[in-house]
Structure 1
Amino acid sequence: MMHAKNLLLALLMIAPAVTATPALARSKDPTADCYAEATTDAEKQACIGLTSTDCRKRKRNPQVNDLAICMDREIQWWRARLSDAEEAMRTRAEERDKPYAKQIAGGAAKMTDDLDKMIESWNKWEQMRCNFESMFYRSSPRRMLHAQECHMTETAKQAILLESSAAR
C-alpha cells in the first residue's frame, strides 16, 4: 500500500511538468512542419533531413544505432509520402491516357505503363545509388548511416517529383 501511495505522489509531482512541456506533450516533426508550409519544390527539398537532424542533435553521445533510429523515422515518413505520390500519379496518368484511348488501342504507349517502368527503374537505381554511396565507407560502422541518408534523400526527392507531376 505504501508503494502505491509513493508512486501516486511521484506521478502527481511530475504530471504538471510533463503536460507543461510542449516537446513532451506532443511529438515534434520538423520535416512535416516545414513541408506543410512549403509551396515550391525547392522549399520542399529544403525540408529533407530536418527531423533526422533534430533527433540526432538531442542525443547525448549517440551510438551508430541511435543515429540510425533517428534517420529511420524520417525515412518512413518520406516512404509514406512516396507511396501516396505514386498512387496520385497513377490516377493522373490514367486520366491523361483517356483522351488517347484510340491510339492506345492501336498500340500507342500508355502513360500508366511508362509510370510503372519508371517506378521500377527508380527503385533499382535508388538501391544501387545508395549502395555505391555507402561503399566509400566500407570499413566504417557509419556505412549504414551514409546509406540511410542516401535513401532518405533520394526517396524524398522522388516523392516531391511525383507529387508535383501528379498536380500538373
Structure 2
Amino acid sequence: MNSAESHGRPHHWTLDSTSADRSLLDEHGDGSGQDQEVDLTDFLVLDAFHVRVGEGAVARARWRIAAQVRERELPLSREAVADVLLCASEIITNALVHAGGECWVSTEWTGAHLRVEVTDRSRRLPAVLAPGIEQGSGRGLALVDALAYSWGWEPRELGKAVHFTVAADVALAVATA
C-alpha cells in the first residue's frame, strides 16, 4: 500500500458482483459470457468483478482470481500463482484504501501472461515508495514491482487502471533461453 493513511476508512472489504461487472466486461470483450475459442496470441477475459469496502473482500477477490487460474488450467507454477495473488491483494487494497472504497477487477489471459487490472476512481498516480523500517505500510507497489513480469497504470475517464502481468512458465522458459 502507499504510505498515505486510510483517513478513517474501515480496513474491511466486501465483494459485490453487480451490473458493473458486465459493463467492465463489455469494455474488454463482448460481454456475452460465452466461452470463445481463442488463438494463443489473443487475450481472453477470464473474469471481471466489482469489489467494495467490507470484511473479507480482498481475500474473496484473491479466491476468485485463483479459481479462474485453476478452472482454466493456466500454465502457471505454484510460485507464479502465489505472486499473482500477492500482487492482486496489494493493488486491490490500494484501490480500496486510497481511492474511495471500491474498485473493478478484471483478469485476462494472453496465452503467455496472466494480466490483472484494477480500476478505481482516483486520479492519484501509483508510486513505488521506499518506507523506513518503522513504517507499517508503503511496500505494496515495491512488492508488485519485484514480483510481476510487468506492471503499470493508465488514466481512465473517471480515474485510473493499475495492472500487472505474471508470465506463464512456458513464456519464462522462452524469455530466458
- Work out whether the TM-score is over 0.5: no
TM-score for the superposition, normalised by structure 2: 0.30
> Which has the larger helix fraction?
1
Calculate the TM-score normalised by the size of structure 1: 0.32
